[in-house]
Amino acid sequence: MTKRQAGNDNERKRASKVSAEPRMERVPRGKGNAGAGRARQADFVVIGGGSAGVAAAMRAASHGASVILVEREQIGGTCVNRGCIPKKMLHYGATWAAILSGCLSHTGGREDWNDAIVRVKAEMARLHASYTQRLQEAGVQVLRGEAMVTAAGEVRVGGDTLQARRILIATGSRPAPLPVPGGELASTSDDVFQWNGVPASLVVIGGGYIAVEMASILSRYGVKVDMLVRESRLLENFDEDIALALAEALTAKGVRLHLNTDVTLLDQANGAIEVCYRQVEEGAISGSGSSGSSSGSGGNGGKNGKGRERIHSVRAQAALAAIGREPNLDGLGLEALGVAPGQRGLRVDRQFRTSVRGIHAIGDVTEGPQLTPVATAQGRWLADRLFGRRGERADFDVIPTAVFCEPAIGSVGLTEAAAIEAAGKPERIGTRIKRFVSLENRFAGNTMPSVMKVVYNARSGRVLGVHLLDNAAPEIAQSIAVALRLGVRLSHLETTMQLHPTVAEELFG
Ligand code: NDP
């Protein structure tokens, strides 16, 4: 072997390692070599190593065929070398550059809370004006004041008495107060949107939607966040695989998770808030690892009744309680009228009637899911029913939902645990889970995996739930919701053409 040949060979080896593409054997061009080379047998010869050829070759090989793939240039064809992949990555770069230069130009390229909140407030103001105008244009009179239902068909607002055959309670909900001594020291999500600056450090109490979103967002704005979660995992109502992957992503971002905790006391001293909590040691991702935390005497038991319990405290500039929301019912006078409460809000039937004739309720004030689109759909349907033609009822059984953390979560349908519970036996439920690093993350130089999980009926293949972790997840969950409603099966996902390169394509094919 000549020096040059050896050099070429080494180069080829290096290149094949770096690009991780299959090492290609070089066959000289031209007819002159016909018949001069080795004879090869194959079950399948594929000419062209682009998306089509590679897919065909690989699938054939997986069925045991001997396959030869012939490609004259780099493997991957147009998509990888001259099309989708480089284009999409440059598109990300361009989009981010536009966003970054647009949003962060005043702040030297760093996320800045003060700047962000000004933008948020401007949008709120725009929406207020727009709502007011639309109400006016629709001929709705808007009266400012506190309402009290004084009788079926009668509402008092200050000195005014309003009478109507039908009354709708849509007063919404508010953050639940933290029921421990000093609980009033904790801010709520309502307060956060009024903050003119962010605290240097924050203890977030809760492990649901709001706690996760706030912890994720605020840590991006430079806040050191400790999360105190009562359960052994985040987002109890979401699929476990997704919640676990999110916990890893948050931890990697610097959010310190303390699981199996039970907050007992908040105290204020020297400009800081100290949050005391009990913690069952088992299952903690980061029990007492935070710089501002300390631990004390032991004990037994805990919320889950297992493991050794220790008392800890964590100090921070502020605390935020996000432990659920409770219905706004104070001062409405409904109790006196005999309107029956439910467990978490007003109890209503399928037609949103309370127990008192003529009084309806929708939205967060009822026991249903506390989600804006649900409330909107309820309102429109009820108004149609009461005053117009019967509208088509929204499907409240399939509600896509998202958690706007980073990466975001999108979810629709049953979690694996809920599906198994409904089916009675684990073997009746199948799951398909994919973990992959998105192109977006590759471009940004991080290898945080995205997760996609499909839960299906093992016998019929009917898809029962789709759960996603990726910044594109909410958008995908919205679209896939319609497929779930229409009874989509795994085979439909497998035979639907993918749109490449997207995150959503990982669900298909
Ligand atoms: P969630 O019901 O989602 O979560 C409440 C969390 O607080 C749970 O982890 C719960 O734990 C915990 N908790 C309850 N009481 C205590 C306590 N005393 N001490 C410590 N932890 C406690 O409520 P959120 O406040 O996060 O959100 C309210 C609702 O708002 C959501 O249900 C959702 O419908 C809506 N929302 C929707 C969003 C979206 O669509 N993106 C965003 C934000 C809110 P445990 O399980 O042990 O009770």
- Looking at the fold, whether 272 and 193 belong to one and the same domain comes out as yes
Alpha-carbon gap, residue 490 to 468, rounded angstroms: 16
Q: Is 467 in the pocket of ligand 1 (CB under 6 A)?
A: no
**Backbone phi and psi for residue 463, each to the nearest 5 degrees, phi listed first:** -80, 130
- Looking at the fold, whether 455 and 487 belong to one and the same domain comes out as yes
- The dihedral of CA 135, 136, 139, 144: what is its sign? positive
- Helix, strand or coil, per DSSP, at residue 102: helix
- Looking at the fold, whether 195 and 313 belong to one and the same domain comes out as yes
Residue 228 bridge partners (DSSP): 205, 258
Q: What is the mean pLDDT of residues 365-384?
A: 93
- Looking at the fold, whether 486 and 469 belong to one and the same domain comes out as yes
At 103, is the pLDDT very low, low, confident or very high (cuts 50, 70, 90)?
Answer: confident
Q: What is the mean pLDDT of residues 338-349?
A: 94
User: Do the strands 224-228 and 201-205 form a parallel or antiparallel pair, or are they unpaired?
Assistant: parallel
Q: Whose CA is nearest to atom 3 of ligand 1?
A: 208
User: Which ligand 1 atom is at minimum distance from the Cα of 369?
Assistant: 34
What are the E-state strand segments in 177-228? 201-205, 224-228
Identify the weakest region by mean pLDDT among 94-98, 139-143, 206-210.
94-98
- Looking at the fold, whether 129 and 161 belong to one and the same domain comes out as yes
| Domain end (from 321, 341, 365) | 321
Please state the three-class secondary structure of 442-500 as a single string: HHHCCCCCEEEEEEEECCCCEEEEEEEECCCHHHHHHHHHHHHHCCCEHHHHHHCCCCC
User: Which ligand 1 atom is at minimum distance from the Cα of 261?
Assistant: 20
Torsion of CA 255, 261, 267, 270, to 10 degrees: -30
At 410, is the pLDDT very low, low, confident or very high (cuts 50, 70, 90)?
Answer: very high
Q: What is the mean pLDDT of residues 347-362?
A: 96
The pLDDT of residue 34 is 42
- Looking at the fold, whether 299 and 238 belong to one and the same domain comes out as yes
Which secondary-structure segment (H or E) carries 412? strand 409-413
Q: For the chain, how far is it from start to end, CA to CA, in angstroms? A: 46
Q: Whose CA is nearest to atom 33 of ligand 1?
A: 370
Candidates 323, 291, 329, 288; CA nearest to 187 is 323
| Residue type for position 423 | A
Alpha-carbon gap, residue 87 to 79, rounded angstroms: 9
Tell me the pTM. 0.86
Is a pLDDT exceeding 90 seen at residue 318? yes
- Looking at the fold, whether 133 and 167 belong to one and the same domain comes out as yes
Q: Which residue has the tokens 């390692």?
A: 17
At 294, is the pLDDT very low, low, confident or very high (cuts 50, 70, 90)?
Answer: low
Identify the weakest region by mean pLDDT among 17-21, 101-105, 327-331, 477-481.
17-21
**pLDDT per residue as tens digits for the range 29-50:** 444 444 456 777 889 888 889 8
- Catalytic residue among 91, 258, 492, 500, which? 500
Angle at 363 between CA 359 and CA 369, to 5 degrees: 130
Number of domains in the chain: 3
Domain coverage including residue 497: 407-507
Residue 128 lies in a domain: yes
500, 448 in Cβ contact below 8 A?
no
Angle at 504 between CA 500 and CA 505, to 5 degrees: 45
Residue 401 lies in a domain: no
Distance (Å) from CA 208 to ligand 1 centroid:
4
List b or e across 340-365, with b for residues whose CB sees 16 or more CB atoms inside 10 angstroms: eeeebbbbbeeebbbbbebbbbbbbb
Q: What rounded mean pLDDT belongs to the chain?
A: 86
| Domain end (from 321, 340, 362) | 321
Q: List, in order, residues 6 or more apart from 155 with CB less than 8 Å away.
A: 147, 148, 149, 161, 162, 163, 164, 167
Distance (Å) from CA 323 to ligand 1 centroid:
5
Which secondary-structure segment (H or E) carries 219? helix 209-220
Longest CA–CA separation in the chain, Å: 104
User: Which ligand 1 atom is at minimum distance from the Cα of 402?
Assistant: 41
Cβ-based neighbour number of residue 491 at 10 Å: 12
- Helix, strand or coil, per DSSP, at residue 155: strand
Which secondary-structure segment (H or E) carries 32? none
Q: What is the CATH number of the domain that holds 71?
A: 3.50.50.60
| Residue type for position 366 | T
| Residue type for position 115 | D
Q: Is 258 in the pocket of ligand 1 (CB under 6 A)?
A: no
Residue 69 lies in a domain: yes
Tokens found for residue 81: 């070398």
At 208, is the pLDDT very low, low, confident or very high (cuts 50, 70, 90)?
Answer: very high
Q: Is 236 in the pocket of ligand 1 (CB under 6 A)?
A: yes
- Looking at the fold, whether 217 and 361 belong to one and the same domain comes out as no
Alpha-carbon gap, residue 214 to 192, rounded angstroms: 9
Distance from chain centroid for Cα 74: 38
- Looking at the fold, whether 171 and 191 belong to one and the same domain comes out as no
Distance from chain centroid for Cα 228: 19
173, 212, 214, 370, best to mutate for ligand 1 pocket (most atoms within 8 Å of CB): 370
Q: What is the mean pLDDT of residues 418-442?
A: 96
Residue 402 lies in a domain: no
Residue 141 lies in a domain: yes
- Helix, strand or coil, per DSSP, at residue 346: strand
Residue 395 lies in a domain: no
Q: List, in order, residues 6 or more apart from 80 with CB less than 8 Å away.
A: 50, 51, 74
Alpha-carbon gap, residue 375 to 373, rounded angstroms: 5
- Looking at the fold, whether 12 and 157 belong to one and the same domain comes out as yes
Alpha-carbon distance values, 457 to 75, 365, 411, 461, 496 (Å) = 38, 35, 17, 5, 19
**Backbone phi and psi for residue 325, each to the nearest 5 degrees, phi listed first:** -125, 145
Q: Is 149 in the pocket of ligand 1 (CB under 6 A)?
A: no
- Looking at the fold, whether 312 and 333 belong to one and the same domain comes out as no
- Looking at the fold, whether 304 and 334 belong to one and the same domain comes out as no
Tokens found for residue 377: 């759909």
The pLDDT of residue 53 is 85
Q: What is the mean pLDDT of residues 345-370?
A: 95
Candidates 473, 375, 409; CA nearest to 208 is 409
Is a pLDDT exceeding 60 seen at residue 126? yes
Residue 399 lies in a domain: no
- Helix, strand or coil, per DSSP, at residue 50: coil
Q: What is 355-391 written as a DSSP string?
A: SSTTEEE-GGGBSS---HHHHHHHHHHHHHHHHSSPP
| Domain end (from 276, 303, 321) | 321
Residue 441 lies in a domain: yes
**pLDDT per residue as tens digits for the range 69-86:** 888 888 888 888 888 888
**pLDDT per residue as tens digits for the range 177-196:** 999 999 999 999 999 988 98
Is a pLDDT exceeding 70 seen at residue 367? yes
| Residue type for position 404 | F
162, 156 in Cβ contact below 8 A?
yes
Which secondary-structure segment (H or E) carries 129? helix 113-138
Q: Whose CA is nearest to atom 34 of ligand 1?
A: 370
**pLDDT per residue as tens digits for the range 393-404:** 899 999 999 999
Candidates 156, 178, 210; CA nearest to 364 is 210
| Residue 500 annotated in active site | yes
